[in-house]
Amino acid sequence: MHIENQTVMQKKPAPGLVAGPGSVLHALLLLCFLGLALPGVVLAFGESGCGAGECRDCHSLSAEEAMKLLPPGADKINTVEFSEVGGLWRVEGEARGKTFNVYIDFSKQYMIAGNIIRIKDGADVSHKVNVSEIPEAGGIILGNPEAPVRLHVFSDVRCPHCKTLHQNLEALVERNSKVQVVVHLLPVMMDKELAAALGCSNSADMLRAAFDSQGEGRALDKLEPCAHADVEEVINFARKWQLNSTPSMILPDGQVVRGSHPLKKLEQMLKPFLD
C-alpha cells in the first residue's frame, strides 16, 4: 500500500497564545495531557470547565475559524469534527471542485495533510466520503439486497487485485446475510464500454465471469452495449473524492479502505457496523 508523505505546516501563534511556560495554552495542554496519561485522576474545574478531564471539553473549532487557519485555495469547509487520532480535528472541505481532508491540532498552530492509516485494519482515517453522493445507477449488488450493512466497492475487472478482493467479497456475503456489497465499475484498466455494459446487465453472475476472464471471456459476448452515463457518474464521483486507485472500498460511515484484503479482515472492518 502506498502511503503519501505527510506535510506539516506551522501557523504563527496568535498574540497571547504562545505555548510557553506559564501561558494559558501551556496550562490547558498540560492539564489535558495529565487527564489522558493518568486515567485514575479526574481534574474538576466546576460545571463549565474540563470536569471530565478530556481535551475535547476544552477545545473547539468552527468552520469559519478553520477556513482562516488554512492556506489560500480552499473554497469552503464542509465539516469539522474531532478525529479518532487524539489531539486533532479533522477538517473536510472543497477546493476547485475536489474534496480535501486535513488535520488541525488543538493548539491551532499545525496543519497535517496526508494519509493517516489505522493499523488494525488498514483504513485510511484521513479519507472519508459522503456516502449519500455515491451514484446508485450501475451498481451491481452481491448478497442480500435488503441487508442493513452496505459496503461500496469501486473496482475494475482487469485489475488482478480487484479479482482477488471480489472473490473474498463473494465469500463475505455468503457467510453473512446482514451484509450487502455494491460493486461500482471504475474504468482504470478496463474500457468504458465494458464497464457500462456490465453495469446495465445488473448481473452478479456476469460480473463474476468478467473477473474470471479479466474482461476477455466469450461469456461477455452476451452483454448488450449500453450508454456511458452511469459510468461517467462513477468517474466524476471518484475524481471528486480522490478515489484514484482500484480496488477502493467505502465502509458504511464513509471511511475509505484501499487495496485487496482477506476475508477475515473484511469481517473485522464491518464488525462495528454489525454490532
pLDDT of 254-275, one tens digit each? 989 999 999 999 999 999 999 8
Of 136, 140, 137, 262, the residue nearest 209 (C-alpha):
140
What whole-number distance in Å separates Cα of residue 190 and Cα of residue 266? Answer: 25
* Residue count (the chain): 275
- Tell me the three state secondary structure of residue 30: helix
Instruction: Supply the pLDDT for residue 219.
Output: 78
Burial 50-63 (b: 16+ CB within 10 A, else e): beebebeebbebee
Domains in the chain (CATH in brackets) are 7-116 (no CATH), 133-274 (3.40.30.10)
Query: Which residue is listed with cell 494519509?
Result: 115
pLDDT in tens, 138-176: 999 999 999 999 999 999 999 999 999 999 999 999 999
Report pLDDT for 83: 82
Residues of the chain with pLDDT under 50: 1-53
- pLDDT of 31 reads 36
Neighbours of 74 (CB within 10 A): 17
